[in-house]
Structure 1
Amino acid sequence: MDSSSLEGQHRISPERHNRESNGTENCRQKDETSRISVWRNIIQNFTPAWFTIGMNTGVLAIVMHQLPYQFKGLPVLTTIMYILDLVLFIICSIITILRWTMYPKVVIRKTAGNLDEIALYGAPPIAFLTLTALTGLIVSKAEWGGHAWSLVAYVMWWFGMAFMLTTCMTIFITLFRTDVTDDRGMSAALTLPIVGVATAAVAGALICNFSYDISPRLAVPVIIVGYFLVGWAVWLAIVLYGVYFQRLLAVGWPEPAKRPHMMMLVGPFGQSAAAIQLLGSAAKTKMDFAGYNKGTFLTAAAAPSANVASVVFALLLLGSDLFWITVALIGILEGAYERKMSYSLVWWTTIFPVSTMTTAFISLSIAMDSPTFRVLSTALLLILLVDFFINWGYTIWYSIKGDLLIKHEELERPNEKIA
């Protein structure tokens, strides 16, 4: 066989070459389109529920920082949790901004009529407030921190408090103007904005109590506003507790997928109990009222009375919380026994409410010098850490599988009109 025949066998026709080239190019384009579609899917379906991961990380860091039983490595672990909270907040904020910028109509369409998603918009300001409190607790006390970072935390608190109140009002006014829910369709997730208002009071009280060198002139306005915030949270929570109690009597348990939300019923009173004790402590222990010394209330003589009254009121609130945490646990365990529950981001909402009770128990352990409350708060923290890492495991696993981040539905293009 001569060389010309060999060349003829190996020579590729121009048509075949073009077909193969086009096929390779089409495969590359499909792969690129697939990657773009995945990112579009993630951005479009990124709900505010993802902020609950950051806010849970932050509140556990706060509890670890305040824990009565400290050991050598705990401050390091607390700092790691603070950094993780900061990273999660930045990532979630960027994706949320992209979502609202690129697909505003899609977001409105997906949010409208979804009571749980509307309520969960209270999570971003709560996550910010945990970062605010940790900035005062950790950064201002660091060797390289100091008073400057106390002022940073102080400014962050005023912004975060306004952010939270605006969010709370927006959520409820939106619900007043729509027919998204009724008394029989009430969701426990609606307590989240109320928890956020109480969280603003807790964050302010922590800054007044533990930030480096906060003067009474700075602290007292925060304390006074903090009491207003507790009043906002408590009385609004009482109204919603009544509605939700009637909902349970009328139609029974919520559907199994939403039962973990019931744990959020613990949050409003638990966080209010923690807030009012920390505010009373700032008035008395930090001598903020004595240093301010104006009128008849903002004086050294009034501070002990305010502190004692705060402890009594906190005990009353926690008594109600014991009822709601029992109801929530029975509902969740019943659903688990019937094998009707599956994993979703809803399970992250089980951590923050119980953390608020833990913070309140820590304050009671100090006010009463009680080993019982010290042991109870430590035991609750250990349970919450187990819950935290289990949630992380499931979240990572289902995110890799695509069940949490990707939904198989038709995607909208950026700024595309929706019929």
Structure 2
Amino acid sequence: MIRVSTATPTRSRTTPTPPPSLRTFLRELRRPGQVFENITPNWFASVMGTGIVANAAAGLPVHVVALRGFAVGVWLLATVALAGLTVAFAVHWARHRDRARTYADHPVMSQFYGAPPMALLTVGAGTLLVGRDVIGIHAAVAVDFLLWTIGTLTGLATSLAVPFRMITRSDRTGVTALPAWLMPIVPPMVSASTGALLLPHVPAGQARLDLLLACYGMFGLSLFIGLITMTLIYSRLVHDGLPPVQAAPTVWITLGMIGQSITAVNLLGNAAGSALGQPFADGLRVFGLIYGVAMGGFGVLMFGLAVALTVHAARRHLSFSLTWWSFTFPIGTCVTGAAGLGTTSGSTLIHATAVVLYGVLLGAWATVATHTLRGSVTGRVFLPA
């Protein structure tokens, strides 16, 4: 039997939180504070995906005033997003420590701890490439040095800590090679390519040479372990088929490794002359050309495969989730890789490819950003997956 109280309710001096059905903003959450419960590290992929739109625009072989202004605006958006997510992530760890630790121990979600370092590196590079129009070159260099240093150190720590925890974990249930395994491996490669942008701003001599060699070392670190991991991923896909439909967009992460490596080796090769004498500088430039063309051929194959697998998943009712940000940063690295390779080779065709890919990037970013904004307003994206 249900008892109905006949007592007269007392008036509260505080205004109660309206029920979800009566709220417009965050209406799908029980309370606004629930926003911080599930701020997982993969949220930083949105900063990566937004920042790469600005960075890629700066490297295109076209010079349009409106494009430069657009890049500055997107860089500002990425900067604000990075600051906001950093605060939200800190609140998440402070208020929901047990849940945060659960995510950190998860065999898949833990891989995305590679995203925060790459977000720092992406925004830092954008500050130097386009942000200097707003804050000046000296401030831009200082900010980029700071973000590059923090991003590089945390990225190197992640590339070691995450595989170590995977190797030593006692529970091996459900552990299988996934594209997400590349997330903690790619940050050193991003450090290598963004470090190349800093070379002209480092004092000539030993300091510049040391930075160049450190960038090539991080390039090798990320490349070799990345190729091993991509082999495991490809084998897993061929033998076991696609991951769950909602995880299908993560297949694009493989392109991030490919595109970023082409970007790094060409930026470093073109900048090596300021730190090394001949014939070493010319040799590194030639290496960038040969590597870029060879890896670019592999990238064409993986791009086509990623498109086909995405269409396959879309036909099976692929719905929006934060994994859709996997479409953006990898395509952006293909743009920067093609632009760098086109500059090294002098190929108009490769430069044209970079422009076309940038158009694809804009379409992907606009689509994913719109869905994310809509989900943020309703609160849906803050719910656990």
Quick check: TM above 0.5?
yes
Q: State the match for 2:371 in structure 1.
A: 394
Residue 177 and residue 79 in structure 1: after superposition, are their counterparts in 2 closer, same or farther (change >3 A)? same
Q: Partners in 2 of 1:30 and 1:305 — Cα distance? A: 66
Say which one has the larger Rg. Answer: 1
User: Do the aligned residues in 1 keep the contact of 2:188 with 2:221 (CA within 8 Å)?
Assistant: yes
Of structures 1 and 2, the one scoring higher in RCO (CA 8 A, sep 6+) is 2
How far 1:111 sits from its partner (Å)? 3.9
Matches within 5 A, 1:230-309: 230-284=219-273, 288-289=274-275, 298-309=276-287
Pair 247,143 (structure 1): closer, same or farther in 2 beyond 3 Å: closer
The reply to whether residue 202 of structure 1 matches residue 193 of structure 2 is: yes
Pick from 124, 131, 152: which aligns with 2:123? 131
Q: What is the identity, as a one-letter code, of the residue corresponding to 2:227?
A: I
1:121 positional shift? 1.2
- Residues 115-171 of structure 1: per-residue CA shift (max 9 Å, x gap): 33111111111010012112222344x486234542442343233211110122121
Offset of residue 311 of structure 1: 1.4
Name the CA distance, whole Å, in 2 between partners of 1:205 and 1:281.
Answer: 9
Say which is worse superposed, 300-309 or 131-140, in terms of deviation: 131-140
Aligned to 1:75: 68
Contact kept? 2:339, 2:354, Cα under 8 Å: yes
Task: Report the counterpart of residue 119 of structure 1 in structure 2.
Answer: 111
**Residue 351 of structure 1 pairs with residue 340 of structure 2:** no
Cα 1:369–1:182, aligned 2, differ >3 Å: closer, same or farther?
A: farther
CA–CA distance in structure 2, aligned partners of residues 184 and 164 of structure 1: 23
Distance in 1 (CA, whole Å) between partners of 2:58 and 2:149 is: 22
Aligned residue number for residue 96 of structure 1: 89
Hey, what does 2:79 align to over in structure 1?
Answer: 86
Whole-angstrom CA distance in 2 between matches of 1:237 and 1:149: 31
TM-score, normalized by length of structure 1? Answer: 0.82
Percent of aligned pairs with the same residue? 22
Q: Alpha carbon RMSD of aligned pairs, Å?
A: 2.6
Structure 2 CA distance for aligned equivalents of residues 383 and 180 of structure 1: 41
Gaps of 5+ in 2: 1-5
Q: 1:400 to 1:146 in 2, by over 3 A?
A: closer
Deviation at 1:351, TM superposition (A): 1.0
Partner residue of 1:326?
Answer: 304
**SS of 2:127's equivalent?**
helix
Contact between 1:86 and 1:131, CA under 8 Å: does it hold in 2?
Answer: yes
Q: Contact (CA 8 Å) 2:54, 2:130: kept in 1 or not? A: no
| Partner Cα separation in structure 1 for residue 234 and residue 297 of structure 2 | 16
Q: 1:313 aligns with which of 284, 288, 291?
A: 291
Unmatched segments (≥5 aa) in structure 1: 1-15, 290-297, 409-419
Q: Could you report, residue by residue, the CA deviation over 1:297-324 in whole angstroms, capped at 9, with x for unpaired residues?
A: x323321111111211122222222222
Contact 1:398 1:404 in 2 (8 A): yes
Which residue is equivalent to 1:223?
Answer: 212
